[in-house]
Structure 1
Amino acid sequence: MTSLPPSTHAATPQATPGSPPPDSVTFADLEAARQRIAEKAVVTPLLPAPELSERLGYRVLLKCENLQRTGSFKFRGAYNFLAGMTPEQRARGVVAYSSGNHAQGVAAAAAIFSAPATIVMPADAPAIKIAKTRGYGAEVLLYDRYREEREAIGEKLVAERGLTLVRPYDDPRIVAGQGTCGLEMAAQAEATRQPLDRVLVCCGGGGLTAGIALALEARSPQTRLYTCEPTGFDDTARSLSAGRRLSNAPGGRSICDALLAAQPGELTFAINAARVSGGLTVTDSEAEAAMSYAFRRLKLVLEPGGAVCLAALLANKLEIGAGETVAITLSGGNVDPARLASALENNPDP
């Protein structure tokens, strides 16, 4: 576990020439995004978890983004991005690179606008994510994540086809869209008169974290925010501690395919560095145990990356006082049946 003192924020990030300022996304952008996506995105529930709360000794609320359109929070940012494009830009088409959840979000949003979509996906992405992306009508181009650079492939398609690149997290429109999850969370907690003491967020490149951080800053400023990442891909946790963006060692592997960013985004880190209280890290086996717990006890289907916040709680990665209220994101449920079956077999009594 990597965690900063609970009463302090991360170190001030070192400025990088040409890096985006942390105010590139404003609260007004989040509010505009909420209105923009209102008719298309699901307002996902913030569910109480009585059995889990009793087990842990504090109140736990579950933000179920696995029930979002396309099975993850990624639809929020993708739709907000495409909604802000001109009809001419959409007609030329969009391109995105993703291991699967952003891929589906962009493909589904593009289908709504009847825009052509080309998605660059790793060949070893979960089969269900590849199939669903194609099912939304997108052209899927597979690559070897260990030998090829997805960014280079995306840039080549932009140059050759005149497509618009929809980045997975490092874009103001994406961050604003993901921030609608935080707006909902804060409003839902307020409606139940349960102020949020802490929020844990599944973190890859940091887009969801950044959006939620901005929402909480405005709507629930007393809440302390923590990222959750898989072992070997704890770049955000280490970067928060160092005060500058750090990369993961190359060649790492994890079953949490949705959270395998090489390093935090420039924009997202600029936002998160001053607003996130610390970072937590979980192992693949802990993520599997959380998947099993969610299925058996909560009746929810989670993919490995969508289970890391639950895993952090179950493994006691953070000291939380009795009587506190903690909300966690269940960020995605797009899991291959074989992967879920393996988690259940390995954890018969979570």
Structure 2
Amino acid sequence: MATIGSDLPTLLDLMKTRDPKGRTLKIIEQKAKWNDILMDAIYVECNNGTKHITSMSTGIPEPAFRKYNKGVQPSHGGQVQVEDTTAMMEDYGEVDAALARKHADEGAYRTQQAKRKLLGFNQKTSRYCFYGNTATEPEGFLGLAPRFDDLSAPSGANVVDAQGTGSENTSIWFVTWGEETCHLIYPENTVIGFQNKDLGEQTKEFSDGSMMQVLRDHFRQDIGLSVPDWRGVSRVANIDVGDLTKDAQSGADLIDYMIDAYYRLQNPEQASGKVAIYCNRTIQTFLHKQAMNGKNVNLTIENFEGKPVTKFLGYPIRRDDSLINAEGRVT
């Protein structure tokens, strides 16, 4: 079974080899703790500057049987070229220079003060991984939801309709993180992932003419998402959270729909990547309650490092609260 923890490089893996000073790595580690998707995803360098071009297969070529002294026609598998772009995210942070120097570890203090900035990067990255739409926001990057929002499209074969019709819909996502299935991207010949540049001490001027000395940081991350093979991703869409019950006697039967979504994946047991499941706090709560009922053998609660972890068919169920309870109906 391909699970989280394969040898494909995550952001933390790559930063450990590229940050000899350790400060940026420390920030990345703190940032990743706030969102599981950053711990799971793998990163691939773009193959065309700030863009990543892949060929998505639309059909598998088959050989022909041949007779002696007879030839065969070469087969051709259908392919569609897909171009994904990266987006630039930037922000600044600053602290009072005099206050920072009163602390024994000035660097640790500045890192602590920067947490809210880092949380903002974290939340936006996660939100755009699911909902980013370059059709309405060209400077952003394309997420998963716009790629799986049409039941009649080829990728619609991997969307399970949970029949919700109200205004309180959400989704559960199965994602195979791998170079051939789904991965994050960063611009060619650039530093990977989150970057923190110390701009040193500068004078800050206020609107009333007063000034103070501050220690300023510049934060930046260039990032995008690529899905070379949509068969490595599946979605349970149209889950009406207002109708959910802990025993699934009414409302969406989450386990039943998740089984459908699992088997929409292309050979999940032999996937050349790592599979994780993403849902928000509301869905995770109901899944936990259903697991406690003891009837759902596919849903288990296991202890990992002293913490309860809910799993489905052995795959971890990750919480991501960027998944909203107000999604439009997928049709």
TM bin (shorter chain): under 0.3
Identify the structure with the greater strand proportion.
2
Q: Which has more radius of gyration?
A: 2
TM, length-normalised to structure 2: 0.27
TM, length-normalised to structure 1: 0.25
